[in-house]
Amino acid sequence: MFGIDFVLLGFIAVNVLAAMSGAVFKPGPWYEALEKPWWNPPKWAFPVAWTAIFALIVIAGWWAWRAAGGFAGAPWAFVFYGLQLLLNAGWSAVFFGMRRPDLALVEVGALWLSIAVTAALFFRIAPEPGALMLVYLAWVTFAARLNHKIWRLNPDNGARLA
């Protein structure tokens, strides 16, 4: 009657692994002491937003996979999907783990680009997964701006970009 969709479970698993970086590399006292812009969201907003975003990333990947007929149907789309997950996980390690807002800004730029490419490739497969990735891209655009502003407000908490 109800079959287990192992592909969906796989997408959930890889996204949970990527999201775990945020649980390993937490903001903590260092982040709390940083000066932040007036428009910085409250602490509770980040886990809520990221939970919703990761749900969208799972659905987008699974939808594109089914529409493409698997990896062979759109290999570059899924290579970039994996890349954006790795970069997503890496941002928390760089910003919170290494305490380097400057390097995290470079990293989030690469993340943004990988999401944009994934969205474009997903749109070629089907419009719905591409549109879901645009929601993610919008959030990362906001997060990148916040990262930039925090770096600018706290020049002693990370080397300056050349």
Phi, psi angles (nearest 5°) of residue 98: -85, -15
Q: What is the pTM for the complete model shown?
A: 0.92
Contact by Cβ (8 Å): 111, 140: yes
Plot region of 5 (φ>0 → left; ψ -120 to 50 → alpha; else → beta): beta
**To the nearest whole number, what is the mean pLDDT of the chain?**
94
CA–CA gap between residue 135 and residue 130 (Å, rounded): 9
Domain range annotation of the chain = 6-153
Domain covering 6-153: architecture: Up-down Bundle (1.20)
Using pLDDT thresholds of 50, 70 and 90, give the confidence band for residue 158: low
Q: What pLDDT is attached to residue 4?
A: 83
Render pLDDT for 37-85 as a digit per residue (tens, 0 to 9): 999 999 999 999 999 999 999 999 999 999 999 999 999 999 999 999 9
